[in-house]
Structure 1
C-alpha cells in the first residue's frame, strides 16, 4: 500500500518549543511507515521543498500581535478588528487549500493551533476549511485557552467557541494528559484519544562524545563537583526557588545549581530574584543559557555552544520543582538519560506519570527534611541510585516510548480512514 501524505499545520515549526518537537516525533513515526510529511506554518526550519510558509500564520506576525492586543484583556472589539480577522482567515484558508492541493495531502495534523488562540485567524481559517471539505484531520491539543489566565478576559468568545477547538465530524481530537481530555469533553462534548508526549526510549542515548566532553570545565564545574541541573526556562511556574532551597539545605559546597535556559519573553525579574536568593543563601547558581542552544555551534567569540542534550550526561541530579506543566518533557528526558530527579507533584505528574510507578524524590509544594534527606541519599548511595534510574528507564520505555506513539497513531488513522496500517 502506498504511504499517506501527512500535512502538519501550526503557527510555527521552528526551534525547540514543545509543539515543534512533538510534531517532529510524530513525523518520524509516520516516516518509518513510508508516509511523507509536509509542513504549513508561519515560521519554519523544515525543508523548504516540503513546506509552505505564509507569514501571517505565525503568532508573532505584527498583524496577529496587533489583533491579540486588541481582543484580550477587554470584552468588546471593533468592527474593524472583526473584518480584519475574517480577511486574514480568508487569506490563510486559501493558503491551506493550496497546501493541500499542491502536496496532495491525505490527512491534516493541526498542531496546537485549534486549541490555544495565539493566532485567531489561523484557527478560524483551518476550522472553516475542514468544515467546508470534511477533510480528515487530527487535532493535537497541547494547551487549551481556558488553562491560561491571559485569555480568560476576551472579546472573541464567538471565535473561541467556533474554532478553539471546533466540534466537527471529520476531526479526531488528541489530548496529551488526562485533565485536558476530561476538560475537553466537559466543555465541548468532544471525545479525544490520549497521546502522551514520548521519547525514543527504544534507542538509548549516547554517552558524552568528544564535542560535549568538556561541558563541565567550560562552565567552571570541577570533576568532583555535584552538578545539579535545572533544564528549564527561567519562568515562575518552574518553581526554581525550590531548587535553590534544596541546594542550600544540602549544605555541600560541591553542589552547583546549573540552569540551562533563558527567561524568554516573560521578562528577567524572576531571574534577578533567583540570583539574589541564591546569593543570600550561599548557593552557587549558574545561568548557562549563553552556552546552551538549539544546536551545537560556535558563538561570535568562538566559544562552543552545546545542545540541551549535551548537558544531561554531565548532571548528577535533576531538579524539576514545577508548579504546573502540560506534561513534563524535561522529566522524560531525566528518565531517558538515567538521571535521578526531584519532582514537585504538579497535577499532571500525579495523574498521568506518578501512577505508573516511577521512583523519584517528590515534594508537595515545599521542601521538608525528608525530601532533602532523600536527595542526599540518591546522590551518595550509588547502588540505590543506579537501581532507581534503571527502573525508571524501563518503565518509561513501556509507557512513553515510540512504540506507544506508533500504537496511538495507528488508532487515530484508522478512525479517520478505516486503514490501520502503520
Structure 2
C-alpha cells in the first residue's frame, strides 16, 4: 500500500517532528510513505501548499487584514486552481491508497490549497486521515469580517466529505469542540514518545560550540513565537540568578518563522539585555547541530508556553530526562497532568502587559526555590526524571498508534478488495460486503 503525508512545510516545528515519527511508524509496518510539503526537505515539494507562497500571502492580506471580499475571491480562485492542477498531476503519478493530511483542514494559513485538496480528495475518492493539531477558531489571526472567507472556513475546516475516514485531534478539549462546532467525531492521539537518539556530539563539544562554561543552562526547545512566552523564561532566570548568586543561560534552539515573528525575536533580545540574562541562539551558534542534541547541556527545560495543542517539547524533556519548568496551559491541565508527572510549576494564570506575557511573581519565586532544591539534590532529580520517563513510555508509546494504523490500513485494503471484486463480477459493492461479513462470522 502507498501512503502519502501532506503538510504546509517540512521543518523543525512540532507538526513536522510528529510527521517524522509517523513516517517511522509506517516504515515499521512495512510501508514506504512519501512526504509532500510546500517547502523544506520533503520527498515531493508543491510550492502552492506553502503558507509563504506569494499568492497565499496576498490572499491572507485581503482575507484577514483588509477584509476585502472581492480581492480575496479573485486571489482564492487563481491559487486554488493552480494548486489543484499541481495536486492532480502529483496524484496521477503517485496514486496513494491513504492520504494523511496535517493541519490543512484545521487552520486557515492557506485556504485556497485546503479547498483544492478537498476537491481533489472528493473527485478522486482518496481515502484520507485528517490530523488536526490546532483549529482556526482558537487563533485571533483568523478573525475576519469577510463573509466569503468566513464561509470558506466554515465549509472546509474541516470538510464534511465521506472520503475522510478518520479525524484525529491531539487532546480531549479539541475533540469536544470539534463535535460541538462541526458535528464531527474524532479520535484523540497525543504527541508520541519516540525521539531521536542524541549521540553525534558530546556534552563538552556542545559546550565549546555554544561557548558555555560553568553556568546553569535552561533550555527552551521551541520556535520563537509569541505564544511560547519566552519573556517568562527571561523573568525566571533573572530571579534565579538573584536568589542563587549563580550564573545562568537561556538556550533557544529553534528560529522564528521567517517574515512572521522577527519583531518578537528583536523584542526578547532587547528584554534579555535589559534583564541582564544571557541568551544564546543555538541555531545561529551551531547551525549544523540538530536541536535535540542540545538537551545534553541543559540542567532544566523551560516550557512557559501559554497555548499548545498537546506538548511535544514537554515529552522531549521527559525523553531526554530533564526536569521541566512549565506554565500549566489548558491542555496540560486537562490531559497530561493527570498522568502523574513530576515537574516545576509556573502556575496557570497569566496576563498581557505592554505586549509581554506575565505570570505572578509569587509563581516565579516558588518555581525558582524548587529548581534550586532539585539542583542541590542530584539523586532526587534523577529519581524524578526516571519516573517521568516511565510514565510517558506507558501513555505515549508509538505502539498505540501502530495498532491503530494496522486496523485502519487493513480496513482500507478490505474496501479496495471489495470494490475490485464488485467491478469484476459486475455486482454492487454492498452485496460483496455482506458476503464478506457472513464469511467472517463463520
Q: Which TM-score band applies after superposition, normalised by the shorter structure?
A: 0.7 to 0.9
Aligned to 1:299: none
Distance 1:116 1:238 in 2: 18
Which 10-residue stretch deviates more, 105-114 or 128-137?
128-137
CA contact (8 A) 1:231 1:261 kept: yes
Q: Which has the larger radius of gyration?
A: 2
Aligned to 2:325: 342
CA contact (8 A) 2:198 2:293 kept: no
Aligned to 2:355: none
Aligned to 1:110: 101
Matches within 5 A, 1:33-182: 33-47=29-43, 51=44, 53-78=45-70, 81-155=72-146, 156-171=149-164, 172-182=166-176
Matched, 1:7 2:4: yes
Matched, 1:359 2:342: yes
Matches within 5 A, 1:15-414: 15-47=11-43, 51=44, 53-78=45-70, 81-155=72-146, 156-171=149-164, 172-200=166-194, 205-207=197-199, 209-210=201-202, 213-222=204-213, 224-250=214-240, 251-264=244-257, 265-293=259-287, 296=288, 306-364=289-347, 365=349, 366=359, 367-413=363-409
Q: In structure 2, do the counterparts of structure 1 residues 400 and 226 end up closer, same or farther at CA, with 3 Å as the change threshold? A: same
Q: In structure 2, do the counterparts of structure 1 residues 247 and 54 end up closer, same or farther at CA, with 3 Å as the change threshold? A: closer
Q: In structure 2, do the counterparts of structure 1 residues 189 and 83 end up closer, same or farther at CA, with 3 Å as the change threshold? A: same
Normalising by structure 2, we get a TM-score of 0.82
Distance 1:397 1:192 in 2: 24
Deviation at residue 311 of structure 1 after TM alignment: 0.7
Normalising by structure 1, we get a TM-score of 0.86
Return 5+ residue gaps in structure 1 as ranges: 297-305
CA RMSD of aligned residues (A): 2.3
Give the count of matched residue pairs.
395
Q: In structure 2, do the counterparts of structure 1 residues 257 and 20 end up closer, same or farther at CA, with 3 Å as the change threshold? A: closer
Deviation at residue 347 of structure 1 after TM alignment: 0.7
Which 10-residue stretch deviates more, 35-44 or 115-124?
35-44
Deviation at residue 121 of structure 1 after TM alignment: 1.6
Aligned to 2:439: none
- 1:205-256 superposed Cα distances (whole Å, 9 cap, x missing partner): 345635x64111232221x321111222333322222222222222332322
